[in-house]
Amino acid sequence: MKPAAFEYHRPESVGEALHLLADIGDEGKILAGGQSLIPVMNFRLAQPAVLIDVNRLTELDHVSEEADGTLRLGAMVRQARLEREAAVARRSPLLAEAIPHVAHPQIRNRGTVGGSLAHADPAAELPAVMVALDARFRLARAGGERWVAAGDFYRGLFTTALEADEMLVEVEIPPRPGDAGACFLETSRRHGDYAMAGVAVRTTVDGDGRLGQSRLVFLSVGDVPVEVAAGQVTAGEPPSEELFASVARAAAAELDTVADIHASAEYRRHLAEVLARRALAKAAQRAAGESA
């Protein structure tokens, strides 16, 4: 048997899961889709004493839109479902564009939204997308809950704002402005592999054809999703290739990339710059199309 022995619990409600978490604390690990946790358990890199399997929590399985355009995703929504949900395509094209880059179809059939976000792999797509979208996460504990902005949630490598007795139960994505455009791009060695670098970009174009501030959030270039300040200078500017190139250059200069077996630090920075330039141009083009 690959994983080390553990005690297994399969709660039938969120309340029961939270009581188990409160009871077990640091010894416990939540098993959602298992597409990251089980591999590390198979390698025995992780040996949790207790697993709390939340796959029966159908109350966390919702995808809903509110009248104002807010999109709500339950933590146990499978990633594959986001590809098929019309509400996601309509309300969050950036998320819809990023999802096919998340691993392989078989992984997305099982992997969950909340699992990916809470696992906090810096090379994962969903955390960077949620930071770019200004999403908020609802963290529940027995007898209470709090909301944390995606940008404040990621604290370090595989480290989040979650306390040992808390569970990420819902994601709230705010309404998309009518003049917004977005783009997600990444580069990986093979499709479905973790990206060597990737970027989620949002911008706006007003009725006079001028850009608003742009948001650029990178994945796989640091310990957490990395948002750069370089996108702010697009505010009030007309879109141009020169502008996009200079923003991308400045963005890449802000990054503190590191080398690993997949790519050198220099190559990562190069990829980040190229991807940022292309994604910003595409986001602006989409934004202009929508505001016309």
Partner 1 sequence: MNRDHDGGKTIDGHHSFSFNLNGDEHQGEAEPRLLLSDYLRHHAGLTGTHVGCEHGVCGACTVLVDGEAVRSCLMLAVQADGHEVTTVEGLTPEEVPAATPAEGNGTAGNGAAGAGGVPPLHPLQDAFWEAHGLQCGFCTPGILMTLVPFLEENPDPSEEEIRYALSGNLCRCTGYQHIVDAVLLAAQRQREAGE
Using CB under 8 A as the criterion, which residues of the chain lie in contact with partner 1 when the complex forms?
A: 1-12, 16, 20, 23, 31, 34-35, 38-39, 41-43, 51, 53, 55, 80, 103-107, 109-110, 190-192
C-beta of 110 vs 210, nearer to partner 1: 110
Cα 114 from Cα 137, distance rounded (Å): 9
What's the min distance (Å) between Cβ of 150 and partner 1? 26
Q: Tell me the torsion sign for CA atoms 52, 53, 56, 62.
A: positive
The residue (of 16 and 290) whose beta carbon lies closer to partner 1 is 16
Burial of 229 by CB count in 10 Å (0-12 exposed, 13-18 middle, 19+ buried)?
Answer: exposed
* 104/85 Cα distance (integer angstroms): 18
Q: By C-beta, is 38 or 265 nearer to partner 1?
A: 38
Q: DSSP strand E in the chain: where?
A: 7-9, 28-31, 50-53, 63-65, 71-74, 136-141, 144-149, 154-156, 159-160, 167-173, 180-187, 197-204, 215-219, 226-228
Q: Compute the least distance from the CB of residue 29 to partner 1, in Å.
A: 13
End-to-end Cα spacing for the chain: 60
Q: Least distance to partner 1 from the beta carbon of 286, Å?
A: 23
Q: Output 55 or 232, the one with its CB closest to partner 1.
A: 55
If the CB atoms of residues 81 and 270 are measured against partner 1, the closer one turns out to be 81
Nearer to partner 1, 12 or 260 (CB): 12
Which contiguous run of DSSP H or E holds residue 96?
A: helix 93-98
- In sequence order, the 6+-apart residues with CB closer than 8 A to the CB of 130 are 117, 137, 150, 171, 173, 225
218 close to 280: Cβ distance less than 8 angstroms: no
How far apart (Å, rounded) are the C-alpha atoms in residues 61 and 112? 10
Least separation in angstroms between residue 45's CB and partner 1 is 10
Distances (CA, A) of 115 to 44, 62, 239, 240, 270: 19, 15, 37, 39, 30
- Select 80 or 233, whichever has its Cβ closest to partner 1: 80
- Six-digit token string for 62: 């919702």
Q: Which is nearer to partner 1, 16 or 254 (CB)?
A: 16
